[in-house]
């Protein structure tokens, strides 16, 4: 895990990248590396831990006039020195008339030249960002329609200037609308989202219990045969839940990657019928103990930790609103369970217990993820619009505390955070803690897992990842490029892990990848190159002021090709991706062929 890092030079990197693109040539390596690298010599790395703190008075109103001295921050019970302090609010604090703190605004972003592509975020905001995740994977069709219609009404009530992005989770995560505060655009986008049956729900149409065997037929099935049917269906439902969990966690992971470079707090408003899993306390999981991976506890803990590290607070909202413990006696139920057995005696008690347990697990998971990330869960409420607006409002006013841990032993264990305030009666809400994983832990991952991670990242349909920022110039074949396609990367060095080894050189290993697709989205061809550096201190200082270069040259037949560009830090696993396009004409393709 890589803890939050401040990226103060984002805009300067953008300018440097544009300057780089104007250059006619870029070297592939900043410094040649020896064939055999010495083992890294780790020195006390500065790792900034960032914590957003929502502070309210006894009446629930935000407290806006606190200073750094008004907070005490402890890690595992030991005081830490606060090095970074800030306050964010959509309006100027009422008691700060002498200061000027504008509401959330956007700033102009330089227009990229032709053939230049980047994953640097284009939306700049001085306040919290809001991400609405419409979870159709875990929500039946009828509730999807209801949620969509109610969300449109909510957007009419949303305060002006609140930046919102819309994502849709189906079989995969998709970006529907990038950040904008234009309410008309948001309404049109949400209105255009179609409801779709989830293939992995027992009843994809509604949240009522689906009938598997009609009662008229069940009475003629021998008890032994019925039991076999029930066992088969139970295994099938378990497989469906397993698939839903994996797809949901994958979607959450992609969100952490695509939002990684956006500074400040991100409020993830998760509209769903609830996550189908009973989670465990995040502090009970140790990433270093691989034996605990027999269930989803480790996976859920990893996702929660990545959300926290990306300053993403989760606000789950159960679209069912007011929910009854049992739907066994709703209108339309003929007094039988889904297998056609009469609802009486032990069978009635068993079904009620199962429904109660499922509801409790779903809401418990919502509570856990909200508590772990500093958000808030909403369920058993019929005012859908109110809770969405409350989520935005709750996460819009907060303090940011940052510190460098005194404990430099990155052993993978959970470290509990505790924050106190000298303000009398103040109620504080913040993330529970973090896992002190080694910054080099990714190097222990198997080659298979690394390949899976990269394969998901270079999928053309996946949202762009900003964990590692870059710009790239994609030139079509010409005399200047020797009739080859030339892709020149300029990688932001502040997101790269440089290791100072025993040879007193700064080492980094980066992979640059170009995946070529057909217009139908079929993967056709892939090119990759590895940049291995061994930089002397003066060269390292120069790179940190500019960029890390990487270049690929390759040949394609005539055609118009969508591209997925990717860079990965092989030490930490941080990935950056962006979509691009290149056109190859018949004359340049012919000239590129060997004679």
pLDDT tens digits, residue range 375-392? 988 888 778 888 899 898
Report the alpha-carbon distance of residue 505 to residue 328 in Å, rounded.
Answer: 68
The values of phi and psi at residue 353, to 5°, are -65, -40
Report the alpha-carbon distance of residue 261 to residue 121 in Å, rounded.
Answer: 7
Question: For residue 2, what are the CA distances in angstroms to 107, 117, 239?
Answer: 28, 26, 32
Task: Evaluate whether 316 touches 369 at the Cβ level (below 8 Å).
Answer: yes
For the stretch 509-535, pLDDT in tens is 999 999 999 989 899 999 999 999 999
More confidently predicted of 17 and 167: 167
Helix or strand run (H / E) with residue 356: helix 345-373
- Mean pLDDT of all residues in the chain? 80
**Does the pLDDT at position 393 exceed 80?**
yes
More confidently predicted of 48 and 101: 48
Per-residue confidence at 206, pLDDT binned at 50, 70, 90? low
Neighbours of 433 (CB within 10 A): 21
pLDDT for the residue 557: 94
**Does the pLDDT at position 69 exceed 70?**
yes
Report the alpha-carbon distance of residue 456 to residue 492 in Å, rounded.
Answer: 22
Residue identified by tokens 């989202």 is 193
**Does the pLDDT at position 374 exceed 80?**
yes
Per-residue confidence at 8, pLDDT binned at 50, 70, 90? very low
Q: Walk me through the domains of the chain, giving residue ranges and CATH numbers.
A: 10-43+447-592 (2.60.40.10), 129-394 (3.40.50.410)
**Does the pLDDT at position 585 exceed 80?**
yes
Nearest CA to 89 out of 394, 428, 402 is that of 394
**Does the pLDDT at position 32 exceed 50?**
no
pLDDT for the residue 380: 80
pLDDT for the residue 210: 66
What length does the chain have? 595
- Of 283-297, 307-321, 349-363, 533-547, give the lowest mean pLDDT range: 283-297
State pTM to two decimals.
Answer: 0.79
Average pLDDT over residues 114-125: 88
Average pLDDT over residues 427-440: 85
**Does the pLDDT at position 544 exceed 90?**
yes
* CA dihedral sign of residues 190, 196, 202, 207: positive
pLDDT for the residue 444: 79
pLDDT for the residue 46: 62
Question: For residue 4, what are the CA distances in angstroms to 53, 347, 364, 375, 494?
Answer: 15, 51, 27, 18, 12
Q: Which residues contact 521 (CB under 8 A, 6 or more apart)?
A: 460, 461, 562
pLDDT for the residue 43: 37
Report the alpha-carbon distance of residue 89 to residue 43 in Å, rounded.
Answer: 38
Rg of the chain on CA atoms, in Å:
26
pLDDT for the residue 125: 74
**Does the pLDDT at position 225 exceed 90?**
no
pLDDT for the residue 461: 87
**Does the pLDDT at position 586 exceed 50?**
yes
Residue identified by tokens 């040879």 is 503
For the stretch 459-480, pLDDT in tens is 998 999 999 999 999 999 999 9
- Both tokens of 454, joined, read 């990269």
pLDDT for the residue 288: 45
For the stretch 286-334, pLDDT in tens is 444 444 434 576 777 778 888 988 899 999 998 876 555 455 455 455 6
């Amino acid at each position: 895990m890589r803890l939050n890092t401040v990226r103060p030079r984002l805009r300067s990197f953008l300018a440097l990248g544009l300057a780089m693109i104007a250059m006619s040539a870029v070297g592939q390596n900043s410094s040649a590396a020896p064939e055999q690298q010495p083992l890294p010599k780790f020195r006390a790395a500065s790792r900034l831990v960032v914590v957003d703190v929502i502070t309210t008075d006894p009446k629930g109103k935000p407290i806006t006039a606190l200073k750094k001295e008004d907070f005490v921050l402890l890690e595992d019970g030991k005081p830490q020195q606060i090095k970074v302090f800030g306050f964010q609010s959509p309006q100027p604090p009422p008691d700060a008339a002498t200061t000027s703190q504008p509401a959330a605004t956007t700033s102009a972003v330089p227009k990229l030249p032709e053939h230049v592509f980047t994953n640097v975020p284009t939306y700049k905001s001085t306040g919290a960002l809001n991400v609405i995740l419409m979870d159709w994977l875990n929500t039946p069709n009828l509730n999807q329609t209801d949620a969509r219609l109610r969300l449109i009404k909510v957007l009419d009530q949303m305060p002006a200037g609140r930046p919102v992005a819309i994502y849709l989770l189906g079989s995969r995560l998709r970006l529907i609308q990038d950040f904008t505060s234009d309410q008309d655009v948001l309404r049109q986008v949400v209105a255009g989202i179609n409801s779709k049956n989830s293939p992995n729900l027992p009843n994809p149409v509604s949240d009522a219990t689906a009938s598997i065997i009609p009662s008229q037929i069940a009475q003629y099935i021998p008890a032994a045969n019925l039991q076999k049917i029930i066992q088969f269906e139970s295994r099938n439902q378990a497989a469906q839940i397993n698939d839903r969990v994996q797809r949901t966690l994958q979607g959450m992971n992609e969100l952490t990657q695509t939002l990684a470079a956006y500074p400040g707090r991100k409020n993830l408003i998760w509209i769903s019928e609830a996550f189908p899993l009973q989670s465990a306390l995040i502090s009970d999981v140790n990433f270093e103990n691989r034996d605990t991976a027999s269930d989803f506890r480790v996976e859920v803990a990893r996702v929660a930790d990545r959300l926290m590290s990306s300053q993403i607070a989760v606000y789950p909202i159960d679209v069912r609103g007011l929910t009854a413990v049992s739907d066994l006696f709703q209108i339309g139920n003929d007094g039988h369970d889904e297998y056609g057995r009469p609802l009486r005696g032990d069978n009635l008690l068993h079904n009620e217990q199962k429904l109660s347990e499922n509801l409790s697990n779903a809401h418990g998971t919502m509570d856990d993820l909200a508590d772990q990330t500093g958000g808030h869960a909403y369920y058993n409420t019929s005012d859908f619009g109110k809770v969405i607006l409350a989520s935005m409002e709750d996460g819009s006013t907060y303090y940011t505390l940052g510190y460098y841990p005194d404990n430099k032993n990155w052993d993978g264990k959970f470290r509990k955070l505790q924050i106190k305030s000298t303000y009398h009666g103040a109620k504080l809400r913040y993330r529970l803690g973090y896992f002190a994983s080694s910054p080099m832990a990714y190097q222990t991952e198997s080659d298979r897992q690394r390949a899976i991670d990269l394969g998901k990242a270079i999928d053309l349909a996946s949202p762009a990842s900003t964990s590692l920022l870059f710009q790239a110039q994609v030139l079509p074949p010409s005399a200047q490029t020797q009739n080859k396609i030339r892709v020149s990367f300029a990688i932001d060095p502040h997101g790269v892990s440089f290791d100072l080894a025993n040879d007193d050189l700064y080492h980094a290993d980066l992979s640059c990848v170009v995946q070529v697709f057909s217009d139908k989205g079929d993967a056709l061809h892939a090119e990759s190159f590895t940049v291995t550096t061994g930089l002397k201190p003066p060269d390292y200082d120069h790179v940190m002021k500019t960029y890390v270069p990487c270049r690929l040259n390759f040949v394609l037949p005539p055609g118009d090709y969508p591209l997925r560009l990717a860079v990965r830090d092989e030490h930490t696993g941080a990935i950056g991706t962006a979509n691009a396009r290149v056109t190859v004409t018949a004359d340049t393709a012919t000239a590129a062929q060997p004679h």
